Structure 1
């Protein structure tokens, strides 16, 4: 299978090359071979397919996945067989046709109401059936001239940031560009939209209307800009002395802006005075993600590290670090010394992590216990972003083998797989924003090569939607331990390296090159 891994590595290199601003003649030649390489790889996979191989899994990969699933299932059966389940099975055996029940002594009892577990199963089944019937209409918002790196939603507006240095405001119902916010001299890497109550406070400072909404943008030009959406005016620019790689607004106390730099530094700025309150050398590499949850801030970096911070406006320095978990715990470290792009989404004691691998990592940030949620059936899958909306965990997945892009939906809090959504020619998804309409339907925006609005259609809609909804049986019940996952994925990488000739043409772009570094080039 060495040739298969070699071709997969070449395709991964090409996908990362394609998102660069400019290509050398040699790189253009490599990119031009993508279709040919995919065709060759498809032929090889067809040759190796057989009765013992499932679709999309090759040889040793399938054996490992089967072994993993079997081992975990055995552990769960031995260690976790609940007494409640045993009691329920005995009760079912003693049920009478009239709905009453007997115990082992023949005494009659009234029907027992469904247990919490049964109700949960019924709720999940209903939700799955609803999503299996879901229809979406896709609309492309055209205007950016380069990769879309970030997007946020404010009411019926979508704000997008691009490597082309612009921030654009879109009116979603009409799919039209409302404003072009030009001012950054470097690529826009991150956006954040403060809550309305904090916008009102800043509006008073600048003598603007109470209903004014603001959006924050960070850029490689070392600036954070604050934009008034009604006018498109930049009301304030904060110079950070470092290329801004991530950004977050914390609605705690008077409010804080937290920026992460490409060198690993965190800086905290007062929302009311816009003064710098704290600078912290938090990470060893670029801070690629910042997310708040109540009085907590979560930061993730390119080297695979996750930090948890407590936030308070009562302290001289607003941030105090509670926990730090390195790549040896998270399993999100780089390969061949090249670090990646870690994205996180917190929920209670858990933090969902995506780091360009085939699975979504789940970190218990209090204990350091790691699990993983399978987001693709083989190591050919790349998870670029993970996000949450009420009741749903959403993970993007890109298959480097065939170029297919999908969105996988999992039910929360159980993390049980629901459905996969895809469409023809759907590009690689690198950022995601979502909200609900007044009628309760979903509206999503995905960014990457294109900025696409996903609008859920009502159930009574007669025509076929633009999105294919399907169930991938290989993703069902695939919550596995991350330590086993890390070992197996690393062994795949090691095998891959041994099978590839180490000449300049094969190694000038590492297989797991950082998306963030590509964005900044």
Structure 2
């Protein structure tokens, strides 16, 4: 299995290279070897599982290679002994805080050991419903570079891209409605303030009470506030640092919170637009900021997670509660950490973490206990995004061996696997947004190299969906307690091989590239 792990690592590194905004001739040569490496991986997997079936694999038969790679992976997994579960996570001494949400007694805040018949019936019904679901896919074309962030506002989708633009799309017609050009650097993050706070700003600007606003953060160190109906920029906030994450605190007068590529968390008054707090909490880029009630969660490219309590009546609205380093979360601390990223989604005592590996981490932010939820059947998976909607946890997964992109669905709060949704030739998903339509159907938007709308078809629809619904039995296992994710160790024996990543790019271009990779994978 040593060469298989080495091929996994090289393919992972090539995928990271492809996200970089600038490539050297040597890096382009390495990328050109991707399909060759995938074919070799398929051959090895078949040799390990059934040597007699290795005949007839050809490099130009892409679909056959993908199918045989999947079959080979299944055979290897079925013949491989189960991985030993590490001991419990090291706990750090921190002040405990009481908040509403899920109250569980398991160490990492996972589901109870037993379920009643009612819960089991509800899960089976939900699973059966999703197994029969259909989705129509539509492409939104207009960006000239990677889409780094997406949000939904009513029937509109707002997307930000490395091409420095913010675009507004009308979803029912899949057309571009506005092109918001004003940033001089790539757009890294977006947020739509709640209606109440939009109304306050609209009155101050003598606009309609129904006006909506959108915030955008960029590598040019600016946060811009846009009028959604006209595309006009009504306010620019210079932050002195490249903005890598953005959110809004809907408490009191309201506050904008930004994260920088240098690890700062800063708070800005919604009324005065003045900075009222700045804390250098993280050692690396702040890649994600998420609010949950009176709490704020920040995640960094180094794998650390911080928890803050919000006191909007104080001059400094954020009070620090916990800081869990990468040694606790199991995220980050990899040799190619310059390309590290962390996305998070909080729920009660739990924080779901995606750090570019095959599994989701579940951190109990009170205790520091961590469990691992399988999001791919082997170490060739990459998890970039995680989010929640109406009792469903959704995580993206990109298969390095086949190039397929998948959305995996889990029921909440149990974290039990439901189904996987995939589309042939779908590119890697780097960001997504989701919401429910007036009829209760799901509508999602995914971004990366392509911007796609996923619209759920009615249950009685006779239209054929564009998405394949399947189940991967390897994901049925419940979360397991873990101190450190063993995925890093499974790939760490490749030191003698050529490193496909450029570690020390000369000049400012290398700094720009690594900053981008930290900023865009939120």
Normalising by the smaller structure, the TM-score range is 0.7 to 0.9
Alpha-carbon distance change, 372 to 319 in structure 1, aligned in 2, over 3 angstroms: same
- Alpha-carbon displacement from aligned partner over 1:396-452 (angstroms, at most 9, x marks no partner): 001111111100000001000000000101110000100101100000000000000
Structure 1 counterpart SS, 2:123? helix
C-alpha contact (below 8 Å) 2:13/2:500 kept by paired residues: no
1:493 aligns with one of 482, 491, 494: 491
TM superposition shift of 1:367: 1.1
Alpha-carbon distance change, 361 to 300 in structure 1, aligned in 2, over 3 angstroms: same
User: How much is the aligned-residue C-alpha RMSD, in angstroms?
Assistant: 2.5
Alpha-carbon distance change, 226 to 68 in structure 1, aligned in 2, over 3 angstroms: same
Q: Distance in 2 between matches of 1:221 and 1:380?
A: 35
- Counterpart for residue 65 of structure 2: none
Count of residue correspondences = 472
TM superposition shift of 1:59: 5.7
Gaps of 5+ in 2: 52-69, 89-105, 505-510
Structure 1 counterpart SS, 2:494? helix
C-alpha contact (below 8 Å) 1:61/1:378 kept by paired residues: no
TM superposition shift of 1:215: 0.5
Matched, 1:244 2:243: yes
- Alpha-carbon displacement from aligned partner over 1:98-129 (angstroms, at most 9, x marks no partner): xxxxxxxxxxxxxxxxxx71110000000000
Q: Distance in 2 between matches of 1:315 and 1:244?
A: 24
- Alpha-carbon displacement from aligned partner over 1:199-226 (angstroms, at most 9, x marks no partner): 0011111111100000000000000000
Matched, 1:372 2:372: yes
Q: Distance in 2 between matches of 1:407 and 1:439?
A: 22
Structure 2 counterpart SS, 1:65? coil
Q: Distance in 1 between matches of 2:79 and 2:401?
A: 16
- Counterpart for residue 93 of structure 2: none
TM superposition shift of 1:31: 1.4
- Counterpart for residue 121 of structure 1: 120
- Counterpart for residue 106 of structure 1: none
- Counterpart for residue 65 of structure 1: 82
TM superposition shift of 1:2: 2.4
TM superposition shift of 1:272: 1.1
Alpha-carbon distance change, 282 to 508 in structure 1, aligned in 2, over 3 angstroms: same
Q: Distance in 2 between matches of 1:133 and 1:366?
A: 38
1:508 aligns with one of 490, 502, 507: 502
Structure 2 counterpart SS, 1:22? coil
Q: Distance in 1 between matches of 2:448 and 2:408?
A: 17
Matches of residues 434-445 of structure 1 in structure 2 within 5 Å?
A: 434-445=434-445
Q: Distance in 2 between matches of 1:494 and 1:230?
A: 51
Structure 2 counterpart SS, 1:18? helix
C-alpha contact (below 8 Å) 1:164/1:188 kept by paired residues: yes
C-alpha contact (below 8 Å) 1:341/1:515 kept by paired residues: no
TM superposition shift of 1:63: 3.5
Structure 2 counterpart SS, 1:446? strand
- Alpha-carbon displacement from aligned partner over 1:122-149 (angstroms, at most 9, x marks no partner): 0000000000000000001000000000
TM superposition shift of 1:5: 2.0
- Counterpart for residue 200 of structure 1: 199
Structure 1 counterpart SS, 2:492? helix
* Higher relative contact order (CA closer than 8 Å, sequence separation 6+): 2
Alpha-carbon distance change, 379 to 237 in structure 1, aligned in 2, over 3 angstroms: same
Structure 1 counterpart SS, 2:11? helix
Structure ID, larger Rg: 1
Q: TM-score, normalised by structure 2?
A: 0.86
Structure 2 counterpart SS, 1:272? coil
Alpha-carbon distance change, 520 to 257 in structure 1, aligned in 2, over 3 angstroms: closer
- Counterpart for residue 308 of structure 1: 307
Gaps of 5+ in 1: 86-115
- Counterpart for residue 382 of structure 2: 382
Q: Distance in 1 between matches of 2:388 and 2:337?
A: 28
C-alpha contact (below 8 Å) 1:341/1:516 kept by paired residues: no
